[in-house]
Copies of this chain bind each other. A is one copy, B any other.
Amino acid sequence: MIQGKVTGRVWSSKHIETMPGGALLQVTIEGGGTLIAFDPLGCAIGETVLITQGSVAAAFFTKIKAPVDALIIGSIDET
Contacts and interface: CB of A to CB of B under 8 A. Distances in A.
Interface string A1-40: 1110000001111111011000010100011111111101
A54 interface: yes
A30 B7 CA distance: 14
B24 A50 contact: yes
A16 B73 contact: yes
B12 A74 contact: yes
Given A10-B3, A33-B31, A77-B10, A40 B16 contact: yes
Contact of A74 (B19, B31, B52, B71): B19
Contacts of A2: 34-36
A33 B10 CA distance: 21
